[in-house]
Structure 1
Amino acid sequence: MKIPALVAALALLTTACTGTLNPAGQPSSSSTIRLAAWNIEHLAEANGSGCRPRTDSEYAALRDYVAGLDADVVAFQEVESKAAAERVFDPATYTVVIEERMGSNRRSVCRGQEGLTINAQRTGFAVRNSIPFERKTDFTDLQLGDPDLRSGVDLVIRPRGGEPIRLLSVHMKSGCSSGNSNEACSVLFQQVPVLESWIDQRANEGVRFAVMGDFNRRLTMSGDTVWAEWDDASPPNADLALASGDRSAQCNPRYRDFIDFIVLDREAAADLQGFEERTFAGEPLSDHCAVLAYLALR
């Protein structure tokens, strides 16, 4: 797998999009588009709810963090509802698209937090209002028939001045970050060929694509079997690249390997202009930091 050389001068990159999806949006233009993936850790609709109960000031800090990302598209995970997402992604700037999955309505107790229960954890996107997009049917095959496994949210964005890009936001089964012996691995390994089928279908279509989100897997570990199955160059455009390359994660000093990724097809990888992990200036706002890829428009 060949990772394109990354351009160091990220400060020169600006928001990439023009469009007419929302007349209230303020279109801008440039030669790049900023894609981000971020697990927001139990983002709830109401204050004090879920396994990461938050206050008004903490929601405000999340909004400031999003503003600092200045991403054109954010694939998010662990969000309870559209209303929860819109507490962080200002509707004046972003359109929120979230999983339609309802879940089983089981209310499990948060680990180590008596009296708190887990809210729904959904995946989705926040798309800058000035970027037209087409929502595809949610990729429910990833659930393996289990209502509590996450589906994928599937979009085609159509930035003016550039060709379309197909995007999938995913949150894979947790508990199998490496190896194959954990109980959760049997579930993750069933999801792997399902996601590969989506990748292979897109690779045959000739439209650039990216799979974005929390993979709960250390894909850069030497000989990782999950990455090897996806990055098999069959079909040829399934010669994949990780936008992060071989970098180490900086979000939490306990964990040096990324599990959040932006996976690019061969065509999109050729347009990669830069990558960034956006860490927190003060107290962590989530147990994950956002990762960003900058792609040249075509």
Structure 2
Amino acid sequence: MKTKSLITLAAGLTLTLSGCFGAPLAPLSDLGTIKVAAWNMEHLAEANGTGCRPRTDADYQSLRAYAEALDADVIAVQEVESQAAVERVFDPSQYVVLVENRVASGRGGACRGEDGLTIRDQRTGFAIRKGLAFERQADLVALQLGNADLRSGVDIVVRPRGQPLRLLSVHLKSGCSSGDRNEACPTLMQQVPVMEDWIDRRADEGVRFAVLGDFNRRLAQAGDAVWADWDDATPSNSDLSLAAGTTSARCNPRYSDFIDHIVLDRRATADQLEFEERTYEGEALSDHCAIAVTIRAR
């Protein structure tokens, strides 16, 4: 891929930091496949009745039941206030929760213009099934572009059978789902080369990888410029695929295009077995449904 002038020195420094934060757990040596998922949880707050989607104990219990039915080994989460918020949904006796280290601006503001509701912090992260070996890498803070209201990426390596799989949980700028003319598009377009640089670096390594989360972009649309930038097969392992393939989204009948994606590199694509979008029964628990892909663990 082409080198982009918009990639800052901060991006380079961030991407070269690669360390283990905390001791990894023992690997699941008998696991033949691994299921990884992405789920924007729509303003998941840690306390009842707070945030842009105030919830009750019953709501959190419904979210937990949905998470249990999803039954994924690793879930990239978005729009979560904190580790405590995620642990209300993903049982901490079953999952290790990691949340980005970003210090939010604290500006908050009203939720979609509604009086009495205040925006809480929105972070990215992971829930990782206990017993699955993992190592945390440095957060991809370059995605913030120096703006504390933008999200960084959470970067981990999991080892389901000893062989590593690198995963990045992202939530890119909203408001530019296609084209480049909307007000939010200049910001998203500055995040594109940061993502491209991360992809290039991973493609040059001997490790399969996937980027998961809310891209706020219809990447599968014909001729999408963002996807064309990332998926140009240079280096060769950055010959990418969308795990959903040609599947249409079913979460909301108004929208047939996914904006949540699981992007796989060439090596992970060869190991893909199954894609799933888990819709809701009855009331939607979030304005996004979880998507998941099962791949060979190796």
Contact 1:21 1:130 in 2 (8 A): no
2:59 corresponding residue in structure 1:
58
- CA-CA distance at 1:65 after TM superposition: 0.3
Deviation string, structure 1 residues 138-178 (Cα, Å, up to 9, x no partner):
0000000001100000000011x241000000000000000
* Alignment map for 1:90-109 (pairs within 5 Å): 90-109=91-110
Aligned residue number for residue 69 of structure 2: 68
DSSP 3-state at the match of 1:78:
strand
Which whole-Å CA distance do the structure 2 matches of 1:173 and 1:255 have between them?
19
* Deviation for aligned residue 1:132: 1.1
Q: CA deviation at 1:297?
A: 1.6
Amino acid at match of 1:196: E
Count of residues paired in the alignment: 276
5 Å matches for 1:259-298?
A: 259-298=259-298
Q: Tell me the SS of whatever aligns to 1:115.
A: strand
Matches within 5 A, 1:13-32: 21=24, 29-32=30-33
Q: Which amino acid aligns with 1:66?
A: A
Is the Cα–Cα contact under 8 Å of residues 98 and 122 in structure 1 kept in the other structure?
yes
Calculate the TM-score normalised by the size of structure 1.
Answer: 0.90
Question: Where does structure 2 lack aligned partners over 5 or more consecutive residues?
Answer: 1-22
Report if the CA contact (8 A) 1:21-1:129 is conserved: no
- The offset of 1:112, in angstroms, is 3.6
Q: Tell me the equivalent position of 1:7.
A: none
Q: Distance in 2 between matches of 1:82 and 1:34?
A: 21
- Opposite residue 97 of structure 1, the aligned amino acid is L
Give the CA RMSD over aligned residues. 1.4
Task: Give the residue type in structure 1 aligned to 2:253.
Answer: P
1:37 aligned partner: 38
Gaps of 5+ in 1: 1-19
Residues 51, 118 of structure 1: 8 Å contact kept: yes
Match of 1:120 in 2: 121
C-alpha distance in 1 between matches for 2:137 and 2:91:
23
Aligned match of 2:238: 238
* Aligned residue in 2 for 1:3: none
Residue of structure 2 equivalent to 1:10: none
The TM-score normalised by the length of structure 2 is: 0.90
Q: The residue matched to 1:116 in structure 2 has which SS? A: strand
How far apart are the structure 2 equivalents of 1:22 and 1:172?
Answer: 30
Instruction: Tell me the equivalent position of 1:195.
Output: 195
Give the letter aligned to residue 296 of structure 2.
A
Output one character per residue of 1:99-134: Cα deviation in whole Å (capped at 9) or x when no partner. Answer: 000111102110142111100000000000110110
Per-residue Cα deviation, 1:76-96 (whole angstroms, up to 9, x for no partner): 000000000100010011000
Aligned equivalents of 1:112 and 1:147: distance in 2?
Answer: 21
Give the CA deviation at 1:28.
7.8
Inter-partner Cα distance in structure 1 for 2:295 and 2:43 = 29
Distance 1:166 1:190 in 2: 23
Consecutive aligned runs of 4 or more in structure 1 exceeding 4 Å deviation: 20-23
- Inter-partner Cα distance in structure 2 for 1:142 and 1:155: 16
What's the offset of the Cα at 1:36?
0.3
Cα deviations by residue, 1:213-245 (Å, 9 ceiling, x for unpaired): 000000011100000000010000000000000
> Partner residue of 1:218?
218
Match of 2:83 in 1: 82
User: In 1, are the aligned partners of 2:25 and 2:134 still within 8 Å (CA)?
Assistant: no
